[in-house]
Amino acid sequence: MSLPPYTFQGGVAVLTGAASGIGRALALQLATQGSHLALIDRDEAGLTTLAADLKQSHPQLRVTSHPFDLSRTAEIPQLADDVLRAHRRVTLLINNAGVALGGTFEQITLEQFEWVQAINFRAPVALVKAFLPALSAELHPQIVNVSSLYGLLGPVGQSAYASSKFAVRGFSEVLRHELAPRGIGVTVVHPGGVRTNIANNAATAPGTSAAEAEAGKRAMNKVLNLDPAVAAAIILRAAERRTPRVLVGTDAKVLDVLARLLPGTYWGVVASLMARRGGT
């Protein structure tokens, strides 16, 4: 089923991870395009500042902030009720929030692994479930789920993060097939190295020294180069056009091709490239 372009003007967007990085850039651009906003993030101070700025620059829009820790997935239905009480409707859901965890599978704990799954995968699932009735009541709404470059390939030291992002990818593809006959579009996004704080805020395996953690963050930050505003513009253009799958950044496009060409042996090439760039 071919859907018409998504209309931002006058719509209501629910956006997670809104206080910084790609989420903040998405919020700013959505407001510029005339979308009312329900902003969700665990960073209450950052969320409050963003909401205040948007209300000042776009007084005609309804902007609400909802401080919330998405690891509390059982409470997401109540979060959705709060959003719907404030806005009455939802036309766009963007599951953008995510956390990272460094360390091999042997090094990390199962509790840490489950924490990543809760925020990166189970929360988007719960949010779609909670908002689907409201979305279904609209004419051609849109769901955007942010996966990752690591939802295309599995790097060493990212078992929890890659697992969660592969799960988001699979969930989004099934949703797209199921919801298309009902006029609901689904876009899955695979960003590459976008300049955000995800590396700086990443958790680490028990026993990791401060020096090791800092070295890992420096290595990751070296490959996080794309401006979040550029990434946000690509994501919103994909949502508007109902693009099923979008790769954000040259690195995502190149490594996607590599994973397709060498599905079982790409890691040797990737590791070599990362070593040359100082990424390992």
Q: Please identify every residue annotated as catalytic.
A: 161
Q: How far apart are alpha carbons 135 and 91 in whole angstroms?
A: 6
Beta-carbon count within 10 A of 272 CB = 11
Task: Name the amino acid, one letter, at 236.
Answer: L
Q: Are strands 203-204 and 101-102 parallel, antiparallel or unpaired?
A: parallel
Q: How far apart are alpha carbons 37 and 61 in whole angstroms?
A: 8
Q: Are 156 and 184 in contact (CB under 8 A)?
A: no
Task: Name the amino acid, one letter, at 108.
Answer: I
In 29-124, where do the E strands start and end?
36-41, 63-67, 92-95, 101-102
Q: Are 44 and 98 in contact (CB under 8 A)?
A: no
Q: Are 151 and 172 in contact (CB under 8 A)?
A: no
